[in-house]
Amino acid sequence: MHFTNSSQKRRLATAEVCILAVLAALTGHPLLAAEEVVLCQGNYQTEEQAKEQLAKFAATYSNCGQWEKRADNIRKAILKGAGLEPLPKRTALNPIIHSKRKLDGYTVSNAAFEALPGYFVTGNLYRPRRMKGPFAGVLCPHGHWSDKNNHGRFRENMQRRCATLARMGAVVFAYDMIGYGDSKRAGWPHKHPQALTLQLWSSIRAVDFLLTLDDVDPERIGVTGASGGGTQTFLLTAVDNRVAVSVPVVMVSAHFFGGCNCESGMPIHKSKDHETNNAEIAALAAPRPLLLISDGKDWTKNVPDVEYPYIRNIYRLYGAESKVANVHLADEGHDYGLSKRTGMYKFMAKHLGLKLDRATKPDGTIDESFVTVQKYEDLYVFNDDHPRPDYALKPGAVGLK
């Protein structure tokens, strides 16, 4: 690695210390070394076992105070299992924003920030045009769609989602998972054993990033993603109470725990001090507005009868049943298609104060025809004109592979 000055050397030294502290979870984290690590991954249990587990959980509380005690323990256990207890120091974000394009009712810029010194989170910033703030802020993590023609935050339906939310009056940040987009170009592997640590911390810092923007209302922060992005949605909402509205899509399941390291590759679901599943983690949003979007052809097929009633009962403890909802599309499969986006737009408009009429046809149906789907190359943050800083951490730094 080439250094141009001593300041950059010092920054990398700081990064090495910081990233070692954050990524030590399965390779010597002192809180984990003394106990057996239990990972709940993929189809960890049957659908019947999931029902029995939820009934067992429900028997541990009968009022709001008892639930909040349980919820607090789960929240702390997630952070501990992810190697984020205590939370790392919030170092300077050093944001990079460039290449603003003015489109029909919204703009798009390429943007990045440092979640840790030298570790860049990269993405695109979508903003409203010809509207007066302050605006809601919405994070859009993406899922594991990896086909080179249907990839990460570059996917057509991802661009349509972000642009439409921006036209409706939100500042939207779509960001790469580790090993996707700019991160992939830099050589980071998505299957990194501490991907969950990096992604959850990156999401927390993405909230910080939105809140550095002068026209973003800190009381109106939302997050929505599908599949692996749905996991990032409910994990962030569970541990960060700055998230006001949450819409996890095709991912909340009591029997399926996510099949990737970034979802379940660290002991966030079970330890000597706790046991939980993704339905209960999603319930940690209570009493904040939560919309579950599910379908009939993946692991969310049981949501109307299993996961949603469990979560709704928790909202009932707060007298907040009106703030939780489920859109179930029994004939559909695993995607974030227009019908799913329609449900999300309406929920976000209601609870974040967005202008739904800026994205609807005269008959009331959603209109995304104004969206310009951009080429991948136009959306990358780092390129020949905007090179990645030479102090940026590389996958081989400090023993990371």
Q: Cα(126)–Cα(137) distance, rounded to whole angstroms?
A: 10
pLDDT at 401: 39
Which among 8, 241, 18, 212 is positioned nearest to 112, based on CA atoms?
212
Q: What does the chain come to in residues?
A: 401
Pairing of strands 119-128, 135-141: unpaired
Q: Cα(317)–Cα(51) distance, rounded to whole angstroms?
A: 20
Q: pTM (2 decimals)?
A: 0.92
Show the low-confidence residues of the chain (pLDDT under 50). Answer: 1-18, 20-22, 25-34, 398-401
pLDDT at 150: 84
CATH architecture of 96-379: 3-Layer(aba) Sandwich (3.40)
Mean residue pLDDT across the chain: 91
pLDDT at 396: 60
Domain boundaries, the chain: 96-379
How much of the chain exceeds pLDDT 90, in percent?
Answer: 86
* Tokens read off for 41: 């991954």
* Tokens read off for 42: 């993929």
Interacting residues of 166 by C-beta distance below 8 A, sequence separation 6+? 105, 106, 107, 126, 127, 128, 172
Amino acid at 223: V
pLDDT at 1: 31
Decide if 173 contacts 206 (C-beta within 8 A).
yes
Per-residue pLDDT tens digits for 52-97: 999 999 999 999 999 999 999 999 999 999 999 999 999 999 999 9
Find the angle CA(177)-CA(182)-CA(183) to the nearest 5 degrees: 50
- For the purposes of burial, counting CB atoms within 10 Å of the CB of 47, is it exposed (0-12), middle (13-18) or buried (19 or more)? middle
Q: How many CB atoms lie within 10 A of CB 231?
A: 29
Q: Cα(88)–Cα(182) distance, rounded to whole angstroms?
A: 24
pLDDT at 146: 81
Q: Cα(132)–Cα(149) distance, rounded to whole angstroms?
A: 36
Per-residue pLDDT tens digits for 264-318: 999 999 999 999 999 999 999 999 999 999 999 999 999 999 999 999 999 999 9
Amino acid at 364: G
- For the purposes of burial, counting CB atoms within 10 Å of the CB of 201, is it exposed (0-12), middle (13-18) or buried (19 or more)? buried
CA distances from 171 to 6, 48, 115, 345 (A): 37, 42, 19, 14
Per-residue pLDDT tens digits for 256-270: 999 999 999 999 999
Pairing of strands 290-295, 324-329: parallel
Helix axis angle, 338-352 to 156-167, nearest 10°? 30
Q: How many CB atoms lie within 10 A of CB 244?
A: 20
pLDDT at 346: 98
Positive or negative, the Cα torsion across 349, 350, 355, 358? positive
